[in-house]
Structure 1
Amino acid sequence: MKFATRRLVLTDAGNNFYAESVDQIDTLLRVAGEVSNESTQIAGRVRVAAPVDFFNWFPAQAIAQFIAEYPRVHLEFELNDARVDLLGEGIDVAMRGGDRDPSLFARKLGTSYQTLVASPGYLAARGVPAQPTDLSVHHCITTPSYGGPRTTWRLGGVDNQAATVEVDGPFQANTSFAQLQGALAGLGIALLPAAITASKSWG
């Protein structure tokens, strides 16, 4: 039987090289370790696009709890009811309802619905719509169309039969809260998120 050992020994040149570079090697290893630790922590700026009235129904306390758990995250909210250009505006996350945009990655957070609302005074003066098509002759509160065609509302009906109706009216506003105020003032019928119309008493 034969036994053999393998042993590596630095030459004099190798010893000199190690002696000259040991400090740099230690520094490199320390920095690499710090970078590795940094990468395991959630940190950075996150820009969020959401409707203007987002914090009317979403509790700010939830944001506070998130930041307490991840103190190195900085949240920037861009509140706008218009659909912003996510890439052009540098938006990381957008809260949106409605049809999914095929150009974006989306995750469903929940289900919401909209309701038609109007003041008792408006309904007493103009009548109560009996069917979706009646809305076409009513004053309806919509987002600004900028001189374009009438706004199209898609409404759910009996047995999930959707109805489409074109509406218009003398008052338009670009936020849900402003539209709600217009409805309360008797300016027409508004189609608004139930989270806004049902979460508070507006009497």
Structure 2
Amino acid sequence: MDRALFESPSKLLGVARAAAANGADIVQLRNKIDTPRQVTEMARAIKEITRLRGVKLIINDRPDIALASGADGVHVGQEDLPLFWARAILGKERIVGVSTHSLKEAKEAEQQGADYIGLGAIFATPTKPEVRPIGMRLIAKVLKEVRIPVVAIGGINRDNVTNILDAASGMSTKFGVAVVRAVCKAEDPSAATRQLKELIVNRSEALAV
């Protein structure tokens, strides 16, 4: 959930509710617009939604807000608070994920104790126009080298998600995908979440046969 894509907090909460109710395993909050207090209040409201659905909530960049809101963890970028500081704030019980853009960064994140890595941007995305897309080839390379879960992100939607899953087929490392605009900017976020979930489940089952 990227706050920059919504004209009001209530609209963001509505999409978070739709995603949690229709198959999302994790809701991640990215909010670089509001004050720390407002972000914390928003995170607490989302946590109430996700808790009822058994869905995890991850906060971008701010382990302090993750802790204050009762979120399940934090996701930090390469330029954010170092992983070990995030871990010191949140402890071992909560999740700490790290954005990576290369095999080197992925291996370093695993060595430093990340619970999972975000890998991307796979495709160009307006969410982060400054990030150069890495393409799909790196997915298999990273999955061969790390053992913690890998989550692909960046420009992923229902038209290309099966190609992403194909790129990860045959690997033992746990793999997932994250979307932003494919749900946040969808005309019907509930239907968009369901469709993506069905595509992922059906493709994963086909690859497992």
TM-score range, shorter chain: under 0.3
Larger radius of gyration: 1
User: TM-score, structure 2 length as denominator?
Assistant: 0.26
- Greater RCO, CA 8 A, separation 6+: 1
The structure in which a higher percent of residues are helix is 2
User: TM-score, structure 1 length as denominator?
Assistant: 0.27
